[in-house]
Structure 1
């Protein structure tokens, strides 16, 4: 099955500053495109979208430009942004003009809940609709109601929920996560990304550990509104790329070839306009 990876992080410490990496343990090193590509292509990953890596704000635009040229496997970039800034419209104009910019993200899971509730933030985010550019929604499980309010406030914008809404997989904390996912999935302008959950699963996870979370996402959003992402290199905290690919494939093995194609590449190609 051909795979499009919608969530690849690359770290180039010789080019950019990553303030958060100082406290990130084993992740605090370079993660170049060549190493990922060598592993990914053996697993059927034929294309990837670079996901912004929360670089220093001064480096955001340069990170996006660099990612678009870094490796043939990287076919586009989801750029960092600051919708709360009055300068956002000009920033959007510059980046949207770049061939290969496929969406935007503003990290919310480490930000105050009030950030995405601001009128300027929401008004600026609505500017994405006319450009057909999605916004990746990265919130913690406890912030899912905050994320839902943002999605409701921008009904013309396509959202993609990152990392299944960051459930506590290690504790098997299915509730109230399941209820909040159902409520979010009731909104037609949001899709879900099956990614990231191995980092929250603990070091001894098995496919059975992940299964109820992946299956609930698919049941809630349906096969037309799910995409797949590696969350490389964050996944290396508890696994490797091959193990995550194999686990996902095992979980959806009972689905039809058409349904699997939607998850692994077709929906990504539509939502991100690849």
Structure 2
């Protein structure tokens, strides 16, 4: 079945600066669109949305403009800084590119109070004016503050990345499970089935991933989930191929319609592609 990848990272160190990669040696190299699709096409992945890679602030707009010119990249979620006074100017520039579908500010690398400030909240409330969504990237212990942010911006569409970053390796179902159930009650949130491999350790099995993925789908329902590869982070504990195979195994009992919703149909609606 056709897959639309909603969470592809591409890394071009000859073009852009990625300060965080100095602390991630396994990922600190070039990850090109050609190399990705050499594997992805055979897995049924026909196209992808590029997810910002936390480049240096000066490179954020350049990264977005560059990836939108690459083959099979049908949209981008751009880096942003809602804690800055000039945020609206930034999203106005981004909105000049029709294939920018949303923005993201990684929150698990910054103090918790950053996303709770009045300025941050007021700024992201402008996103619907530009038809942009906000991808939420939080640790499991930060899910409560994520919910507070969502509740203060009810007109913004949020996508919760990586199943809420559970501790898969430690089998940390609780209190993550209760937080996900509560998160799903917020009508302006979509969940992204992605990233769980990275938190599973190197010797994971499908049964290790299954309870986390199944709980997110059960909580949000088939109409409010999308799929992402989180490539190349996925290579830390496996490969793109293993993640796609694991996904198919986990959802094997679903109907064709439900599978299509997860793998491409919901993403086409949510990200307007």
1:44-123 to 2 correspondences below 5 Å: 44-70=44-70, 72-123=71-122
State yes or no: 1:250 paired with 2:229. Answer: no
> How far does residue 44 in structure 1 lie from its aligned partner after superposition?
0.5
Separation (CA, whole Å) in 2 of partners of 1:174 and 1:215: 12
For 1:29, the equivalent position in structure 2 comes to 29
Deviation by residue 1:241-261 (Cα, 9 ceiling, x = unmatched): 111000001100100000000
> How far does residue 132 in structure 1 lie from its aligned partner after superposition?
2.3
Separation (CA, whole Å) in 1 of partners of 2:2 and 2:202: 28
For 1:195, the equivalent position in structure 2 comes to 194
For 2:19, the equivalent position in structure 1 comes to 19
Q: Runs of 4+ in structure 1 displaced over 2 angstroms?
A: none
For 1:273, the equivalent position in structure 2 comes to 272
Shifted more, 124-133 versus 176-185: the winner is: 124-133
State yes or no: 1:150 paired with 2:143. Answer: no
Separation (CA, whole Å) in 1 of partners of 2:129 and 2:151: 17
For 2:127, the equivalent position in structure 1 comes to 128
Indicate if the aligned counterparts of 2:202 and 2:237 stay in contact, CA closer than 8 A.
Answer: yes
SS at match of 2:83: coil
Deviation by residue 1:217-257 (Cα, 9 ceiling, x = unmatched): 00000000000000000000011111100000110010000
Separation (CA, whole Å) in 1 of partners of 2:30 and 2:111: 29
SS at match of 1:26: coil
For 2:167, the equivalent position in structure 1 comes to 168
What is the TM-score of this pair, normalised by structure 1?
0.99
Provide structure 2 residue ranges, at least 5 long, that are not aligned to the other structure.
Answer: none
> How far does residue 129 in structure 1 lie from its aligned partner after superposition?
1.3
> How far does residue 87 in structure 1 lie from its aligned partner after superposition?
0.7
1:164-243 to 2 correspondences below 5 Å: 164-243=163-242
> How far does residue 130 in structure 1 lie from its aligned partner after superposition?
2.2
> How far does residue 25 in structure 1 lie from its aligned partner after superposition?
2.0
RMSD value, Cα:
0.6
For 2:41, the equivalent position in structure 1 comes to 41
Indicate if the aligned counterparts of 2:5 and 2:45 stay in contact, CA closer than 8 A.
Answer: yes
